[in-house]
Structure 1
Amino acid sequence: MTQPVERMPRCHALVPCAGVGARSGADGPKQYVPLAGRAMVAHTLAALAAVPRLTATLVVLSAEDDLFEAAVPWFGRAPNREWLARCGGASRAATVANGLQVLAERGAQPDDWVLVHDAARCLVQPAWVDRLIDACLGDEVGGLLALPVADTLKQADAQGRVAATVDRSAKWAAQTPQMFRIGLLRQALAAIGDAPTDEAGAIEALGLQPRLVVGDAANFKVTWPGDFTLAERLLNTL
């Protein structure tokens, strides 16, 4: 009698791309600001496209987005691997939750993995994504790229003065991608709502402990006006 072939969980990438980047100082959504010859998000998606173990990448836009296709004209030419959905929510958590629903509708299973990655982390490298996959495929919870905090941390008061110096030992700065089972992450986001600012926070709220996987200092999130200059300088060296 032929034994059934065990199904191997697949890896999907999900890129929430529905924000406006209010802190960046850009005239429009920061993910479309040109850097080193193409839109910021185009760099992000090109890196993810170079990771063979990603079955597909889903980009989640706001319903009103009319800029993506012009900014990333090549995305979608591989219809089995490049998916687009205009179902962004009012928060990052809502956008991710809506994207997970789309993945399920496209056949992703609860035990499949999803790697959620910020559109504004445009310097991500395929090798870093592979490092995360290698570390998490056999993990019961999943994990995220992150870096141990090197700087001295200060806590501010309401007047913008130092209220305290915070112990930085055992503290890490979270990055993305963040990799979890689709079913587990859907459960976590449904339980906690819009509160978490990253997926790991939602998983932690279930009492679980995501694995910290060493990232890279270049994998920063373009957030403030000065970040654009730095990101472009680094992109021009790749």
Structure 2
Amino acid sequence: MNHLPRTYAMIVAAGRGSRFGAPIAKQYTQLQDQTLLELSVARLASSQYIDQCLLVVAEDDSMASTLNFAIPVSYTIGGAERWQSVQAGVEAISDIGADDSDLILIHDAARPAVPRHDIDQVIKAAMSEPYGAILATPVADTLKTSHTKSETTDKLLDNNHQHYYAKRTIDRSDMWQAQTPQVFRLGPLKRVLNYVAEHQLTITDEASAFEYLELPIRLVTGSRQNIKLTYPDDALLLSAILTAQFDPP
């Protein structure tokens, strides 16, 4: 008999955020007197489909357990690579009795401004798909590939002295910028992560694993407010977005 799948939320917070350049892990950056991790859990808590969340943290993480979260959270230890952390989370969710047809929602700790409407929409879309759905936005900017050229023509210098030159413009008509949450059926997600492990593939998001096996993942248009804190300048923009979202998202 068909049944409405349960949604299990997971936030991957085992990374160090090296590009952000801060002395602490990026997910513990403070915005509006809360950490990114607290803010992101609160956004998930605003969804009608989510009432608890699994946090995937680093083995030496001692901070997550000291924070105040909007919904009950549990913890599991992540791996060196993102996909390994997701796999650890998937195993933990399977161990508590999740069905292969249930949904696993994966969100980045560094996306604290995702609107509640977007969370609900991507979950509802995934409920009608055999594999899953992700939030994404159509690329609006002109995209270019580049090549490097050193300051001298006879030898390459280190990266600090290299200049980048436009090589060609990419057709953006079918280009999308992926966001999170990304929502997948548990059974297929386990299978594609095993495929990634067996073939030692490099992926930057979970949808990439499905793409390797040509399994269709639906794109759900998300808000451009749902930016990710990656570089220090992003903090200013995120703070402004969070301030503007004075009503519940």
Matched AA of 1:83: S
**Secondary structure of 2:61's aligned partner:** coil
Residues 121-180 of structure 1: per-residue CA shift (max 9 Å, x gap):
111122110011122211122110000000000111134211111111111000011111
The question of whether the paired residues in 1 share the 8 Å contact of 2:45 and 2:70 is answered with no
Q: Deviation at 1:8?
A: 3.0
Q: Deviation at 1:46?
A: 0.4
Structure 1, unpaired ranges of 5+: none
Match of 1:145 among 129, 135, 150: 135
Q: Deviation at 1:107?
A: 1.4
**Secondary structure of 1:170's aligned partner:** coil
Q: Which residue of 2 aligns with 1:227?
A: 234
Match of 2:32 among 32, 36, 40: 36
Q: Matches of 2:146 and 2:83 in 1, distance apart? A: 27
Q: Deviation at 1:232?
A: 1.2
Q: Matches of 1:23 and 1:228 in 2, distance apart? A: 13
Q: Matches of 1:105 and 1:124 in 2, distance apart? A: 29
Total equivalences in the alignment = 228
Structure 2, unpaired ranges of 5+: 150-163
Matched AA of 1:17: A
Match of 1:236 among 236, 243, 247: 243
Higher-Rg member (1/2): 2
Q: Matches of 1:162 and 1:15 in 2, distance apart? A: 37
Matched AA of 1:173: Q
The yes-or-no answer on 1:176 pairing with 2:180 is yes
Q: Matches of 1:183 and 1:18 in 2, distance apart? A: 23
The question of whether the paired residues in 2 share the 8 Å contact of 1:149 and 1:168 is answered with yes
Q: Which residue of 1 aligns with 2:196?
A: 192
The structure 1 segments of at least 4 consecutive aligned residues displaced by more than 2 Å after TM superposition are 5-8, 72-76
Q: Which residue of 1 aligns with 2:68?
A: 73
**Secondary structure of 2:92's aligned partner:** helix
Moved more, 18-27 or 153-162: 153-162
Match of 2:109 among 100, 103, 119: 119
Q: Matches of 2:7 and 2:95 in 1, distance apart? A: 15
| TM-score, length basis structure 2 | 0.87
Q: Which residue of 2 aligns with 1:135?
A: 125
**Secondary structure of 1:54's aligned partner:** coil
Q: Matches of 2:87 and 2:104 in 1, distance apart? A: 11
Matched AA of 2:142: T
Q: Which residue of 1 aligns with 2:148?
A: 158
Q: Which residue of 1 aligns with 2:9?
A: 13
Q: Matches of 1:21 and 1:58 in 2, distance apart? A: 20
The question of whether the paired residues in 1 share the 8 Å contact of 2:113 and 2:225 is answered with yes
Match of 1:59 among 55, 69, 84: 55
Q: Matches of 1:6 and 1:205 in 2, distance apart? A: 29
Matched AA of 1:22: S
Matched AA of 1:47: R
The question of whether the paired residues in 2 share the 8 Å contact of 1:10 and 1:54 is answered with no
Q: Which residue of 2 aligns with 1:83?
A: 74
- Cα-Cα RMSD: 1.5
Residues 83-112 of structure 1: per-residue CA shift (max 9 Å, x gap):
222x11001100000100000111111111
Q: Matches of 1:146 and 1:74 in 2, distance apart? A: 26
Q: Deviation at 1:55?
A: 5.0
**Secondary structure of 1:228's aligned partner:** helix
| TM-score, length basis structure 1 | 0.91
Distance 1:45 1:156, change over 3 A: same
